[in-house]
Amino acid sequence: MTRARLSDDGGLPSRGRVRAEIAIVLALSLGASAVYSLLSLANRLTRDVALSQQTATLNSSLSDRPVFDLLYQLMGIAVDLVPVLLVAFLLWREARPHLGRLGVDFSRAGRDVAGGAGIALAIGVPGIGLYLVGKALDLTVTVVPTDLAQHWWTVPVLLLSALRAGVTEEVIVVAYLFARLRDLGWRTWPIIVTAALLRGTYHLYQGFGAFVGNLVMGLAFGWLYARTGRVLPLVVAHVLMDAAVFVGYPWAAATFPSFFGLPS
């Protein structure tokens, strides 16, 4: 089958159309995040305060009224998942598995979950060490996973936030880019490196340490996806890592305040 050729007659889309589609998808999602992250880093570097003394909060309160804070949080999560629905729509195929081009296949869900848990352990623990090194070298800001007040809905919202990050990043940055860049004739390793660079760039608002850590994570995730063609283990791993950080932060911050740059 020829790659991404023209399509006035209903065949595969032309190469120009595929490039335009990629640009639109990224502009609506993590490409825009990368641009904002670069601006944020420039802003941080031009301040008189050292990077390690600055903070980045990942899950912030959006209203001082709990009901509206909850509604804003849920709305934000839902809107951020729309680009995932878009790529699912674009790459949907009639034959099963319908989302096979995105590496989504629930036939081995148990193995995917177990594999994702193993990946989370292998990537998450070294990631903590890299964060500490970045802080010590003044290359990384103090990351505050959440400043949400304690409500009955706080933990569910943080878990949904972790789910949003895992699904959005792995489906778009790994599965979607793999599918479309292959349509353009790219080889495997250029795709892996490009996706990893994008992942690192949209984390630059946390400093250079976060860029390096996410670049390495992106290379590992891309290599795994190229070998297996399955995105669900990567989604599970990402969600587990973020959930552990988001939900465990209040306890960790109270127990180890100096680690988070907080007063003891």
pLDDT digits (tens, 9 = 90+) for 17-60: 999 999 999 999 999 999 999 999 999 999 999 999 999 999 99
Phi first, then psi, for residue 185 (nearest 5°) are 90, 10
Helix axes 208-228, 188-201, angle to 10 degrees: 150
**97 and 105 Cβ atoms separated by less than 8 Å:** yes
What's the pLDDT score for residue 2? 41
pLDDT digits (tens, 9 = 90+) for 123-182: 988 888 888 888 888 989 999 999 999 999 999 999 999 999 999 999 999 999 999 999
Instruction: Give every CB contact of residue 89 below 8 A, 6+ residues apart in sequence.
Output: none
**14 and 5 Cβ atoms separated by less than 8 Å:** yes
pLDDT at 183 over 50: yes
Instruction: Give every CB contact of residue 244 below 8 A, 6+ residues apart in sequence.
Output: 120, 124
Whole-model pTM over 0.85: yes
Phi first, then psi, for residue 3 (nearest 5°) are -85, 135
pLDDT digits (tens, 9 = 90+) for 185-226: 999 999 999 999 999 999 999 999 999 999 999 999 999 999
Collapsing DSSP states into helix, strand and coil, what is residue 57?
strand
Start-to-end CA distance of the chain, whole Å, equals: 63
Count the helix, strand and coil residues of the chain and give each as a percent rounded to the nearest 5: 70, 5, 25
For residue 42 the two structure tokens come to: 């420039």
pLDDT at 6 over 90: no
Phi first, then psi, for residue 148 (nearest 5°) are -65, 140
Domain boundaries of the chain, sorted by first residue = 52-94+109-260
Phi first, then psi, for residue 113 (nearest 5°) are -65, -45
pLDDT digits (tens, 9 = 90+) for 59-73: 999 999 999 999 999
What's the pLDDT score for residue 133? 87
List 207's β-bridge partners, or say none: 140
